Amino acid sequence: MKGKIAFEEHMAIEETLQETKSFAGESGRWDDFTNQILDMGSRRLDNMDVTGIEFALQSLNAPGVQGIVDTTEAISVAKKANDTIANAVNKHPDRYGGLAALPMQDPEAASYELTRCVTELGFKGAMVNGFTQKDSHDSAIYYDIPEYREFWATVSELDVPFYLHPRMQLPSHAQNYEGHPWLMSAPWGFAVETSIHALRLCGSGLFDDYPNLRLVIGHLGEFIPHALWRIDARMRFSPRGYRGTRPLGEIFLDNFFVTTSGFYNDPAFKNTLDVMGAERLFFSADYPFETMQDAAGWYDKTPVISDEDRTKIGRTNAIEFWGLELE
């Protein structure tokens, strides 16, 4: 399919590059991977051309700004990353858009940077890599706490989507992963970490206060769509501490949107489609952690959607969702 739009596509800057090393695959691949993730020119664009991806929103690699303990440094790295993305967008406005990296260490600074990115740089929303560290390497701050309500008010006012991207749990918080580093990472722990964060947001009353918030999660919903029925079924018996005024499943289906990033599998996709509906699903690749060839090769041919839905999920949903100026 030509004309696809993707939006979990990552770049890096020198300051955040090294964090990605352990995810780049075999050690011999690092130099090439570095070239791929830093490049925002012909290599990325050629890849998009051959896989039918017309337009892609670019975002900083994980954990990016969220892994920086010094707030002043976090603010300056976020700004540098966003200015780097803006520069690529300016060069290729018909191919790229931007999602803002945010210094969540300081909610007010995060609001300020998001506002700058949206109103001055024309960014379409934010991409944040899970909980943030701050001051101490062992800290992990989640955004359902009251300190972030003003930040969410800004997101709501700007009316832009917020993509909650995975990061790995901190070793000091991960006793249950001990001895199994593979388990903490993209095969499983990424989804556990991200789904817990998303569910915390759902259970915090946030979406009662700001019903227009639009949260995006990748990897076919980080296991949540599959589990949604059971969450509500069991919550009837143990809703302790739940602060939503509606069942969690309703909140999730109203306020969350899901992409195919890094998860190219028919049965899992079919289940996600059944639960979410074609209007709330989007194509994405997760380049360069995945190849655009794998993402598009599967998506263009999967028999579990009609051609009408393929066009929606691959393109037209995204145009409306992000307010893109594409036909």
Q: Which residues are catalytic?
A: 286
Q: Which is nearer to Zn ion, 8 or 144 (CB)?
A: 8
Choose the one of ligand GRE, Zn ion, none that binds residue 107, judging by a C-beta under 5 to 8 angstroms depending on kind: none
The distance of closest approach from Cβ of residue 149 to ligand GRE in the complex, given in angstroms and rounded to an integer, is 28
Q: Which is nearer to ligand GRE, 23 or 223 (CB)?
A: 23
Q: Say which residue the tokens 């639960």 belong to.
A: 275
The distance of closest approach from Cβ of residue 234 to Zn ion in the complex, given in angstroms and rounded to an integer, is 30
Choose the one of ligand GRE, Zn ion, none that binds residue 144, judging by a C-beta under 5 to 8 angstroms depending on kind: none
The distance of closest approach from Cβ of residue 6 to ligand GRE in the complex, given in angstroms and rounded to an integer, is 13
What tokens were used for 20?
């990605």
Which residues of 162-280 form beta strands (DSSP E)?
162-164, 215-217, 256-259
Residues of this chain that interact with ligand GRE (CB under 6 A) are: 10, 23, 61-62, 166, 186, 262, 286, 289
Give the three-class secondary structure for 79.
Answer: helix
Residue nearest to Zn ion (CB): 286
Q: Which is nearer to Zn ion, 12 or 114 (CB)?
A: 12
Q: Which is nearer to ligand GRE, 4 or 10 (CB)?
A: 10
Q: Which contacts qualify for 109-116: CB closer than 8 Å, 24 or more apart?
A: 109/71, 109/75, 110/151, 111/150, 111/151, 111/154, 113/75, 113/78, 113/79, 113/82, 114/154, 114/155, 114/158, 114/160, 115/154, 115/158, 116/82
Task: In whole angstroms, give the CA distance from residue 3 to residue 160.
Answer: 23
Q: Which is nearer to ligand GRE, 115 or 291 (CB)?
A: 291
Task: In whole angstroms, give the CA distance from residue 189 to residue 181.
Answer: 9
Choose the one of Zn ion, ligand GRE, none that binds residue 23, judging by a C-beta under 5 to 8 angstroms depending on kind: ligand GRE
| Amino acid, res. 87 | N
Asked whether position 8 contacts Zn ion by CB under 5 A, the answer is: yes
The distance of closest approach from Cβ of residue 261 to ligand GRE in the complex, given in angstroms and rounded to an integer, is 6
Say how many residues touch Zn ion, by CB under 5 A: 2
- Is 12 in contact with 60 (CB distance < 8 Å)? yes
- Is 129 in contact with 8 (CB distance < 8 Å)? no
The distance of closest approach from Cβ of residue 197 to Zn ion in the complex, given in angstroms and rounded to an integer, is 15
- Is 90 in contact with 117 (CB distance < 8 Å)? no
| Amino acid, res. 79 | K
Task: In whole angstroms, give the CA distance from residue 261 to residue 32.
Answer: 21
Q: Show contacts with Zn ion in window 248-307 (CB under 5 A).
A: 286
Q: Say which residue the tokens 């049965």 belong to.
A: 267
Residue numbers of the site for Zn ion (CB under 5 A)? 8, 286
